[in-house]
Structure 1
Amino acid sequence: MADYSKDELLQLIKRFGAYLTVKMSNLFSISLDNLDTQSIGALAGLAIAILFTWRLLRSTSGAQRRQPKRQATTPSSSSVVSTHSNANLTFSGDLSSEDSRAQNVIDEFFQPIKPTLGQIVRQKLSEGRKVTCRLLGVVLEETSPEELQKQATVRSSVLEVLLEITKFCDLYLMERVLDDESEKKVLTALEDAGVFTSGGLVKDKVLFCSIENGRTSFVRQLEPDWHVDSNPEIVYQLARFIKYQLHISPIKPERTAANVFSSPSLEQFFGSI
């Protein structure tokens, strides 16, 4: 009986060790620089799970040591077989139940942690610190300078991503306009949408030009880590000078360079919709 109990406990410890090894390897594959509140919570959960399992094993071992001694009288052979069999079944059942409880506790603490939008943005931008982005068709509903003469409307679906980028990136927005009134409409639309309230973007970082290639000049002077544009010609021209580019296009274009990515929209690139 004692040997059987030790074997069962040894198997439990081995199973737990293997299970914990897998969980630890998944957890610590995350860079320490990227640890956030949720990751720290997972580490705390690990400590609690280890403590819980240690106490569980200790209580099981103690219960085995505290079992009452058999009476001196010798029972019949059939009684001995019956008692031994029942004891084995009871111990095996308890062990299985406690093993399951320990694994359930560990599973609860090691549920997959869904990354926040901020974490996704940083990962997708490869920790880039400066981003330039055109307005038409990316941030604004309008797709041509002529439409801006009538109105300017910030796309509601892109707003959350845009604000997240401004939290850790130096963001510049730029566009070609036909007159001063268009500039005012764009700035008013951005202000009404709350783009300037986060503190990461100011009006001086919204740039306007009168020709399409003026945007190319802005980007080359600013030397960003990323540029976002919907004009394939500008994307092609800048491919040699900018580290990464995101080409916004409703139809997936042919990839012109290894450093050029494509997406139907800015928010879809970050998986926020």
Structure 2
Amino acid sequence: MAESSSPSLSSKEDLIQLIKRFGAYLTVKMSNLFSISFHNLDSRSVGAIAGLALAIVFTWRMFRSPGAPQRRQPKRQAPSTSNSVGSTQANATSTPFGASSSSEDLRTQIADALFQPVKPTLGQVVRQKLSEGRKVTCRLLGVVLEESCPEELQKQVTVKSSVLEALLEITKFCDLYLMERVLDDESEKKVLLALETAGVFTSGGLVKDKVLFCSTEIGRTSFVRQLEPDWHIDTNPEIVSQLARFIKYQLHISPNRPERSAANVFSSPSLEQFFGCV
């Protein structure tokens, strides 16, 4: 008996694992589809969404539909005591103990596996947070670099290790420009060397020509106005306020959670926290 039950148990576990993979596939596909703007849907995207909808409806109907109806038994006269005992023993032999509960447990496990939530990837989070923006401008001090003022750049330049993952993910689908105010040419060289050493230029999405330097804060504002990005990331509240009328979205990096100056201005203690990296 133990040998016959083992293959059945193994097949149930295999079925559950198969349903888990199918559920994860459905969840990721639906997340990717719904992150796409409906204005950009083509016929292939519509067909994919329709296919997923049919698959979900089919799965729901499969779990909702009851078992096959039993044939109606004709009425019989009350059996004798000996026949009742024999019938009871026959039913006990033909119906394994706990078969119904095992079937319900299996159905519950399959349903849980199919609709188990899947954590989105960092790439999906970045795209959703940036609302499918294609061009991003970002200052260096206080966002990508540990230093907070141009005077500190004359001594040393340190790239935040915690921000690298999010920064590289942005470069995969966004045209990213980094910019900063510096006091001399030597500071520029130190910044570029620090970024190169940290591996910022290795992904191919960001090149040195897209790291811009200026000598005044007004110069950085002018850079942003000329580039016309979908998102600008900055730590200076005055620049954020000045650009609110011209830039679609802004992210104000500040440790103190300032009051929202405009509907299109968001705030976060750091860039990595905005994307949930820490």
TM-score grouping bracket, smaller chain normalisation: 0.7 to 0.9
Which residue of 2 is the match for residue 109 of structure 1? 114
Structure 2 residue aligned with 1:162, among 162, 167, 186? 167
The answer to whether 1:80 aligns with 2:84 is: yes
Structure 1 unmatched runs, 5+: 1-22
Provide the aligned length of Structure 1 versus Structure 2: 231
Equivalent-residue separation in structure 1 for 2:153 and 2:171 (angstroms): 24
**Percent identity over paired residues:** 70
Which residue of 2 is the match for residue 11 of structure 1? none
Please give the TM-score of this superposition, normalised by the length of structure 1: 0.73
Which residue of 1 is the match for residue 46 of structure 2? none
Which residue of 2 is the match for residue 16 of structure 1? none
Provide closer, same or farther for how the CA distance between residues 269 and 84 of structure 1 changes in structure 2, counting only shifts above 3 A: same
Tell me by how many angstroms 1:84 deviates: 6.1
Equivalent-residue separation in structure 2 for 1:82 and 1:236 (angstroms): 88
> Which deviates further from its counterpart, 191-200 or 106-115?
106-115
Structure 1 residue aligned with 2:104, among 82, 99, 107? 99
Structure 2 unmatched runs, 5+: 1-22, 37-48
Question: Helix, strand or coil: the match of 1:214?
Answer: helix
Tell me by how many angstroms 1:111 deviates: 1.6
Which residue of 2 is the match for residue 120 of structure 1? 125
Which residue of 2 is the match for residue 20 of structure 1? none
The answer to whether 1:32 aligns with 2:33 is: yes
Question: Helix, strand or coil: the match of 1:199?
Answer: coil
Provide closer, same or farther for how the CA distance between residues 78 and 231 of structure 1 changes in structure 2, counting only shifts above 3 A: farther
Equivalent-residue separation in structure 2 for 1:86 and 1:185 (angstroms): 87
Please give the TM-score of this superposition, normalised by the length of structure 2: 0.72
Equivalent-residue separation in structure 2 for 1:85 and 1:76 (angstroms): 14
Q: Deviations over 1:246-271 (max 9, x none)?
A: 00001010110000000000000001
Contact 2:234 2:240 (C-alpha < 8 Å) held by counterparts? yes
Tell me by how many angstroms 1:108 deviates: 1.8
Equivalent-residue separation in structure 1 for 2:272 and 2:91 (angstroms): 62
Question: Helix, strand or coil: the match of 1:196?
Answer: coil
Structure 2 residue aligned with 1:202, among 184, 204, 207? 207
| 2:178 maps to amino acid | L
Equivalent-residue separation in structure 2 for 1:30 and 1:159 (angstroms): 25
Tell me by how many angstroms 1:32 deviates: 2.5
1:1-273 alignment to 2 at 5 Å? 30=31, 32=33, 34=35, 50=59, 75-77=79-81, 79-80=83-84, 83=87, 87=91, 93-273=98-278
CA RMSD of aligned residues (A): 3.7
Question: Helix, strand or coil: the match of 1:173?
Answer: strand
Tell me by how many angstroms 1:75 deviates: 4.3
Question: Helix, strand or coil: the match of 2:233?
Answer: strand
| 1:226 maps to amino acid | W
